[in-house]
Chain A
Amino acid sequence: MYKFIYFFMIVVAGTLGELCVSRAMKQVGEVHDFRPAAIVKVIGRALRVKWMWIGVGMMTLAFFSLLAVLSVEKVSFVVPVTALSYVAGALGGRFFLGERITLSRWTGIALVCIGVTLVFMGKG
């Protein structure tokens, strides 16, 4: 039962975290300069964006849940199951943001679900 809560945290908090970070980086703007000092400066700028902190907080939560699951399950089982984030992302978009999901996107989501089911069934 605990495992399901952990997987839920990895999937939901991880997806929300990624979306927040993505939003923050759009605010920071395109990175042109890859010298270490410039990258440090970009990170400094990113840390002044509120969404970055929310995103990193969510991802930290997902990270500790990942550690917890990895202590009891194989990596080759845990990581594929976290692909359910794509399903979470699509459903969230559909029901919370009112996005229309195209047939090809539903196809991709269905494939991820089928794949995760096979990964579950293929417990060696």
Chain B
Amino acid sequence: MNSHKRLQFKTFVMILIMIIAGPLGNVLLGKGMQSVGTTSIHSAADLVHVIGRVFANPSIWLGVASLLTFFVANILVLSWADYSFVQPASSMAYGVVALLSMFLLGESITLLRWIGIAIICLGVFIVGRTHPRTTAHH
């Protein structure tokens, strides 16, 4: 494999990990937090109690592990690829999160919301594809 192909390949693998691990992490956190439920916090003791419940939840830990995987893949890819390249490529994550929350959490997503998500993906893609430097050099 020549160096250009190699660079493309490792970039592809890292971005693939990002668009799976990131959304999966968010969905698992959502699942965990929904089972912890809403609690009103009136004192420091309440806060400690809620934090204890949050971190006793296995979904939260899986979600954190998944987000850490995302984070490591993200910083590794940022060491060689431009932020402005990584950003549009990872816009697919918005679609993935919708699919995962539908299939894993049984959330119903209205047509209007699907359209909104598609438009967000498109918008993020366009933002990232613009030229990364707009300030003049002297």
A residues near B (Cβ < 8 Å) are 18-19, 21-22, 25-26, 28-31, 34, 39, 42-43, 46, 59, 63, 66-67, 70-72, 74-80, 83, 86, 90, 97-102, 104-105, 107-124
**CB-based contact A115/B116 at 8 Å:** yes
B residues near A (Cβ < 8 Å) are 10, 23, 26-27, 29-30, 33-34, 36-38, 54, 60, 67, 71-72, 74-76, 78-80, 83, 87, 94, 97-98, 100-102, 105, 107-131, 134-135
Once A22-B83, A31-B80, A70-B29 are accepted as A-B contacts, the answer to whether A109 and B123 lie under 8 Å apart by CB is: yes
**CB-based contact B26/A79 at 8 Å:** yes
> Across the A-B interface, how many residue pairs have beta carbons closer than 8 Å?
172
* Residue in A18, A74, A110 whose CB lies within 8 Å of B123: A110
* Residue in A26, A29, A74 whose CB lies within 8 Å of B107: A74
**CB-based contact A111/B123 at 8 Å:** yes
Once A70-B33, A71-B36, A122-B113 are accepted as A-B contacts, the answer to whether A111 and B119 lie under 8 Å apart by CB is: yes
**What is the minimal beta-carbon distance from B9 to any residue of chain A, in angstroms?**
12
Closest to A31 in B: B79
A116 vs B134: C-alpha distance when bound (angstroms): 26
**CB-based contact B127/A109 at 8 Å:** yes
